[in-house]
Amino acid sequence: MDKDRVIGSAKVVKGKIKEAIGKAVGDVKLESEGTADRVEGEIQNAVGGIKDTLKGN
């Protein structure tokens, strides 16, 4: 498994937590940061998946 997949998955989780906390306390900025982290993590995870496919894992 490519390290990008691991790091990407961690960013997705971090982003979801930030989004949930932002929604719960009404902090739009924190919620937006969480969304950005989640999307960045999903992209990084996808890049890792492509690398894995190219390596033949």
Which residue carries 């949930």 as its tokens? 20
DSSP-H helix ranges across the chain: 3-25, 28-55
Cα separation, 38 vs 23, whole angstroms: 15
Q: Which two tokens stand for residue 40?
A: 């960045």
Dmax (CA) for the chain in angstroms is 45
Q: Which two tokens stand for residue 55?
A: 């390596």
Q: In tens digits, what is the pLDDT along the chain, a chain of 57 residues?
A: 889 999 999 999 999 999 999 999 999 999 999 999 999 999 999 999 999 899 885
Q: Which two tokens stand for residue 33?
A: 């940061």
At residue 22, what is the residue type?
G
